[in-house]
Structure 1
């Protein structure tokens, strides 16, 4: 196991599951946030192996699972940082990303030979993107219209309870001290929060006939790219674990060289050299295959 930073304290408490012939006591990490990225990966490998040996619901299982979450919170903050320009509070994004991290821990199989970092980042990013999809708008509208939609929803509820019917545009305008044109603009803008289905019949109220999705069909231009990826699979499988991890983070998770270096504890120049070498090997393998 990698040597930990001097600031990180790890003790080995007595575990009720440890016996002279049983597994070794579980290490206790006083401050997981002080563990370096390299040490966190090394400790995570050990803890994942141990997690698979423990029974779910036991104190030891809960401790190992919780420690894995704390050790890998840097991944959540790393992915969440890519969305810092969004209007949602960063605390909410990190909270959602943590849910993705927990899902990644529960689904991860160390026997597949994949680094947890490589597996977790797309899972965390997917959970955050799902959050934006579920709470955001399908198209961008000005903040003024987003706030108007909320005011319209509240005013509609109030007037509907008062008159026992849906309010008219004029009544909404008077209630909100706005013009009828502004009310109509807010109603149109509110429709931008959801999108219609491509399975709906185009220009027809029946289920028969072509759908809008049928009319939008097009020839797949990336078919040759898929074939090339299939041809590269044996060459990628022959790479070292670290080379596959760098390749996956660059082209699977779409991270920059600097971001990969920050995540793995290397310089951007080192990551650049690794990618150049690996891509050269893959290019040679693909040409040989052709």
Structure 2
């Protein structure tokens, strides 16, 4: 077990394999333990900077996902890096959660807060900002349920708002800071911004990020729990087949599987990550 680490022994910040990411997580934990034990303010600050430097590519990678949405790339990266500092300062060593599983939702949350609070050309109340987002994401669900366009009254009831608030939120649409699609892109190839719009988000990359956070949590499970997960999600066995394989009833498998998944979700804070 590593008990101390100097800045010259830090693993590379660019991690391309699960082993490199595991080494980064282990080194991060060592640095955070050293910082918790240090009493000299200068030493604590140096160790904090080492943690940030070691994980800086996580922040930059998340910031890149939010480009071309009306905010400058440099501003997004700065927000993400400050959020990483916040995560490193607030991380609890006894939480049992890997640092990356704590840092990623913290960084994403700060970036989303930046968009919500700082990139509106006309200032409107936060309640209306949030309500406008709810109209965009939740009203299509209501339309499917009703199989028609809902009325303003139905939307208000569905979202727990007043008709006046719905009207105000709709009127505020377009206040978000946007760029003309005819604006030249940042490249020198003569393309407009419309030509350079990115493809839809790569879900495979997002899945890899979740798996990256999940791997150390799976290692902490007992052998039976890991085997149940492997049989269910890798070999796609039914609960009855899993029961036969490990020697218990289908009902017991169901309870064990449910308890294991709930524990993993809680440790990953998956609701925040997926937000």
User: TM-score, normalised on structure 2?
Assistant: 0.47
Q: Which has the higher contact order (CA 8 A, sep 6+)?
A: 2
Q: Which has the greater radius of gyration?
A: 1
User: TM-score, normalised on structure 1?
Assistant: 0.44
